[in-house]
Structure 1
Amino acid sequence: MFKQYIGWKFVLAAIAVIIIVTTIWFVSNLSSNIRAEERKKVATWVAANRELLRASPDANLNLAIEIITNNTTIPLILTDENGTILDSRNLDSIRIAQHPDYLREQLRAFKRQHPPFIMEVDAHRKQYNFIYYGDSLILKQIRYYPYVQLIVVILFIGIVLFALSSTNRATQNQVWVGLAKETAHQLGTPLSSMEAWLEILRENEANGQIVTELSKDVDRLKLITDRFSKIGSVPKLEEKDIVLQIENMTNYIRKRAPQKVLFAVHSKETELPAMISPPLFDWVVENLLKNALDAMEGKGKIDITIDNHPTFITIDVADTGKGIPKMNFEKVFKPGFSTKKRGWGLGLSLARRIIEEYHKGRLYIKSSDTSKGTVFRILLRK
């Protein structure tokens, strides 16, 4: 599924590039052709004006007049030799009336766009007029068309990729939820059998120590089964003391961690109520602590810092392990990503799901350094 999704991204990107390059090439040629046609039209318009100036009183000037009046698209500015504006056509008359500098600004723009046509007014006095012209509205629209199309293509690809990503994420969630529930279901049968055997062992007082230890393991398996069964369903949130909850889980992990690893819980508050699902929240904390232990490889320190803010609570889990490269900050939360030789890479993915979807909070890497370790942050909103 993931490789297929990546493949689709490259296919869509390639199609987008082909469309854009083809469009730019086609529009560039079209613009050049239209620009050439417009210059011919302006040349014809200039020739018609020359005809009017040179014509005798009885000459038939209908064609010249028609050519002059038919130009309704190409903007023109007529100046004398000194640059004084004598006339203009196809420009915004309202802006001409409201802004005295409008014609002068357009003239400067026209000079940059095209060389002028020179029209002889008086051969004896050697008087000449200059006709400057700009691009028509349709040429401007065609010129901007590739950029509009580029935006449309980008939006289209973005929507398609978002849809593919959402579908891929939904499929992954269904797989993980189904796996979790099936695991809980499969654990149920041997747990029932183990509880029955415990009752038989309790009948003999000589088995007291064995029964005690087995009971702890059975309770632990029950807790794991309960956690898996809650994945995919909306858990019931309860008001619990978050400080006590974290201290209990830290003590549990401390007993099972190497002796060279030190644990410390820091909180200015002795009690801090928060709405959580105790078994699922414990799972998140346990997962972060176990990841920290794996990163330190048997020695170091784990600090859990709880801070109370006006609208939220933060829990920082800091270790002195080998750190995480910045490029993997988001990858570590993706299902299947793991740096361990053994493991499915589901722990952090499920932990984020529990915090963000069930508790409406956030779980992310606050900071990481290969020489100092990593800090994971849980943010719970009040």
Structure 2
Amino acid sequence: MFKQVIGWKFVLVSTAVIIIVGTIWYVSSIASKLEEEETKKVATWVAANRELLQASDEANLNLAVEIITNNTSIPVIITNENGHIIDSRNLDTTKLAGNPKYMENQLTTFKNQHPPFIMEIDAKNNLYNYIYYGDSLILKQVRYYPYIQLIVVALFISIVLVALSTSNRATQNLLWVGMAKETAHQLGTPLSSIEAWIEILKDNEGNELVATELRKDVDRLKLITERFSKIGSVPQLEERDVVSQVESMVTYIRKRAPQKVILTMHCQEHEIPAMISPSLFDWVIENLLKNALDAMEGKGTIDLYIENHPTNIVIDITDNGKGIPKANFEKVFKPGFSTKKRGWGLGLSLAKRIIEEYHKGRLTVRWSELNKGTTFRILLRK
């Protein structure tokens, strides 16, 4: 599925690049030809004006007037030899009336676009007119068309990629939910049977210790089943003391950690209330602590800090294990990503989903260095 999505993305982007490059090249060539044609028209227009000044018969005069009046698209500004504007054609009259500097601004633009044509008025007295011209509206539209198309194509590709990504994420979510609920369902039947056997063991003298230990393991399995059954549905949040909730998981993990691992909890307050789903929140803390244990390979320290701030509760879990490369800070939360030989790589992904989607908080890698350690941070809103 992932390879198919990547393949479709590559095909879409490649197709878009080919279309855009081809369009820009084709439109640029058309714009260049159109610009050449407009330059020739302006040259003809200047020649007609020159002829109008020097016409000796009525036929040449009529032809010059016709050529001059036919220019209705190319904007032109005429200045004298001193640079003073003396006439203009085909400018935006609405802007001309509302902005006194519009003509000067257009003249500056025309000077940057094309070199002027020079028309001699009186050579003896050094009287000349300079004809500056700009791009017609059609030429501007042709030049801007590729960029408009680029925006449209980029918008289309973005929508398609977002749709594909959303569809893929929805499929993954359905898969996780289905697997979690099916696991909870499959665990339910043997657990009921084991509970019945525990009651039978209790009735026989000498089995009390075995029955008690089995009860602890069954309760643990029931808690795991409850967690899996809540995946995919919105959990009911309850007001609980975060300190005692975390402390219970620290105690649980400490009993099962290697002797050379020192697990310490730091908190200046005895009680910090927050709205949480107890079983799912415990799952997150347990998962992060187990990841810390795996990173240390049997020895080291784990420090868990809880801080109470005005708007949120901060929980930092720091180990001195092998660390995470900076490039993998976001990848560790993606489904299937794992550096361990066992497991499906879903633990951190589910933990992030529980904190961010169900508790509206945040779970991030706050800090990590190779062979120095890692800090995971949980932010819970008050």
Both structures adopt the same fold (TM-score exceeding 0.5): yes
Identical counterparts, % of pairs: 74
Deviation of 1:109 (Å): 2.5
- 1:124 shift after superposition: 5.5
Give the Cα separation in 2 of the matches to 1:15 and 1:181. Answer: 42
Cα distance in 2 for residues equivalent to 1:94 and 1:232: 62
Looking at structure 1, the residues matched to 207 and 219 of structure 2 have their Cα atoms a distance apart, in angstroms, of 18
Q: What amino acid is aligned across from residue 113 of structure 1 in structure 2?
A: Q
What code does the residue aligned with 1:354 have? I
- Give the SS at the match of 2:194: helix
Q: Which residue of 2 aligns with 1:252?
A: 252
What is the CA distance between 1:105 and its match in structure 2?
Answer: 3.4
Q: Which residue of 2 aligns with 1:274?
A: 274
Work out the CA distance in 1 between the residues paired with 2:228 and 2:60. Answer: 97
Give the equivalent residue in structure 2 for 1:283: 283
Q: How far off is 1:261 after superposition?
A: 1.0
Are residues 58 and 65 of structure 1, via their aligned partners in 2, closer, same or farther at CA, if it must alter by over 3 Å? closer
Distance 2:253 2:232 in 1: 26
Distance in 1, matches of 2:322 and 2:257, equals 17
Q: Residue 215 in 1 paired to residue 200 in 2?
A: no
Distance, in Å, in 2 between the alignment partners of 1:234 and 1:85 is 73
The range that moved more, 121-130 or 295-304, is: 121-130
User: What residue in structure 2 maps to residue 296 of structure 1?
Assistant: 296
Name the aligned partner's letter for residue 198 of structure 2: L
In structure 1, the partner of 2:179 is 179
Matched, 1:135 2:135: yes
Alpha-carbon distance in structure 1 between the residues aligned to 2:59 and 2:201 = 128
Residues 142 and 105 of structure 1: CA distance in aligned 2, closer, same or farther (over 3 Å): same
Q: Deviations over 1:203-229 (max 9, x none)?
A: 112112211211111111111111111
| Structure 2 partner of 1:41 | 41
Distance, in Å, in 1 between the alignment partners of 2:45 and 2:235 is 80
User: In the aligned structure 1, how far is the partner of 2:307 from the partner of 2:199?
Assistant: 45
Q: Which 10-residue stretch deviates more, 277-286 or 57-66? A: 57-66
Match of 2:349 in 1: 349
Which deviations, in whole Å up to 9, do the C-alpha atoms of 1:177-223 show, x marking residues without a partner? 00001111111111111111111111112112211211111111111
- State the 1:99 CA deviation: 4.9
- 1:185-196 to structure 2, matched below 5 A, reads 185-196=185-196
Is 2:86 the counterpart of 1:86? yes
Q: Is the 8 A contact 2:51 2:60 kept in 1?
A: no
Aligned to 1:103: 103
Instruction: Name the SS of the counterpart of 1:205 in structure 2.
Output: coil
Residue 10 of structure 1: aligned partner: 10
Cα distance between partner residues in 1 of 2:379 and 2:313: 6
Q: CA deviation at 1:141?
A: 2.2
User: Residue type matched to 1:259 in 2?
Assistant: Q
Shift in Å, 1:271? 0.4
Count of matched residue positions in the alignment of Structure 1 and Structure 2: 382
Higher mean Cα deviation, 347-356 or 105-114?
105-114
Q: Answer whether contact 2:263 2:302 (CA < 8 A) is retained.
A: yes
Distance in 2 of aligned mates of 1:245 and 1:299: 25
Counterpart in 1 of 2:77? 77
TM-score, normalised on structure 2?
0.95
Where do residues 191-210 of structure 1 align in structure 2 (5 Å cutoff)? 191-210=191-210
1:336 aligns with 2:336: yes
Distance in 1, Cα, partners of 2:317 & 2:270: 18
- Once the two structures are overlaid, the 10-residue window that deviates more, 288-297 or 118-127, is 118-127
Task: Give the structure-1-normalised TM-score.
Answer: 0.95
Matches within 5 A, 1:142-181: 142-181=142-181
Cα distance, 1:126 vs. partner? 5.9
SS at 1:318 equivalent: strand
- Structure 2 residue runs without a partner (length 5+): none
1:381 positional shift: 1.2
One-letter amino acid of the structure 2 residue matched with residue 280 of structure 1: L
Residue 20 in 1 paired to residue 20 in 2?
yes
The Cα offsets for residues 149-176 of structure 1, whole Å up to 9 and x where unpaired, read as 2222222111111111111001000001
